[in-house]
A = this chain, B = another copy of it.
Amino acid sequence: MEDLSRLSFNQMTAGKAPLREVIDACSRQGIEWIGPWRHSIGDNPAEWGKTLRDSGLKVSSLCRGGMFPAATAEERRKRIDDNLRAIDEAVAIGTDLLVLVNGPSPDKDIDGARQMVADGIAAIVDHAEQSGVRLAIEPLHPMFAADRSVIVTMSEANALAELFRAGSVGLVVDVYHVWWDPEVYRQIERAGERIFAFHVSDWIVPLPDTLMGRGLMGDGVIELQRLRNAVERAGYTGPIEVEIFNEALWSQPVGEIARSVAERFCLTV
């Protein structure tokens, strides 16, 4: 088995498996990094922080904050409060990185919703800086523009991040979301030190499902090594997180999933 030191296992790659099982499977597989989700952390971030520290795993990021746009000022305020809590949770579980999936528009005004995202990040960035937590904007694939994120290109995410300090707000480059973009290599170069995370999976043809159809690395058409080389040329040296939503994969035992992920990571990324 080749070097796994860069590999991070995003919890959702194991679907609905309990976080405890995912932690154990990663440890057994020799995976050094993990990316947990907030729904598993729940009301016990301190306890999960201890569990994660005791496991010896490093935490690459917490998924996810964001979801800023909403129809009313009150609801937008609630979303901001939730993001402030997410920053505290990131600290508690021992990561300095919060991933932002920025949410859909509450109505047809997509540009208005984009402004709400900028306003939302502006409202939490001070608390993030004071907490030592960096905010990573994740542009999602444009097919999610209506239901998950109005931020859908690297270019847009770069422009948004550039409103803030370079050490505070940056990007997640997730190959599934950005591989199609004729500007992707130019925008990776532009992002430079603002690349806070690099996520890998693959785009299967034909696509089984927009959300649940991601493939294991090597099963699809994405130029994984070219993209990895580009983010590294731009200066990124951090963990490479495997995030795969796929029902067929999720039906396997967690240990099998971790083994497949580690193997494919060595072969293809």
Are the CB atoms of B147 and A180 closer together than 8 Å? no
- Mark out the residues of chain A between 124 and 147 whose CB falls within 8 Å of any chain B CB in the assembled complex: 141-143, 145-147
Question: Is A105 close to B, CB under 8 A?
Answer: yes
Q: What residue of chain B has the Cβ atom nearest to residue A177's Cβ?
A: B142
Asked if residues A146 and B108 are in contact (CB atoms below 8 Å), the reply is: no
* A interface, size bucket: 20 to 34
**Interface-side segment among A56-64, A68-76, A202-210:** A202-210
Known interface pairs A153-B182, A182-B155, A221-B105. Does A143 touch B146 (Cβ–Cβ under 8 Å)?
Answer: no
In whole angstroms, what is the CA distance A223 to B109 when docked? 7
- Cβ of B155 and Cβ of A223 under 8 Å apart? no
Indicate if the CB atoms of A108 and B210 lie closer than 8 Å.
no
Shortest Cβ distance from A213 into B: residue: B210
Interface positions, chain A 166-196, Cβ under 8 Å from B, are 179-183
Q: Which residue of chain B has its CB nearest to the CB of A143?
A: B143
Q: Which residue of B lies closest to A153 (CB)?
A: B182
Query: CA–CA, A109 to B221, complex, Å?
Result: 9
Given A108-B221, A108-B222, A141-B143, the answer on whether A181 and B153 have CB atoms closer than 8 Å is yes
The residue on B at minimum CB distance from A107 is: B221
Determine which of B146, B152, B203 lies in contact with A205 in the assembled complex, contact meaning CB atoms within 8 Å. B146
> Does A156 sit within 8 A of B, measured CB to CB?
yes
Cα of A203 to Cα of B144 in the assembled complex, Å: 11
A185 nearest CB across to chain B (Å): 9
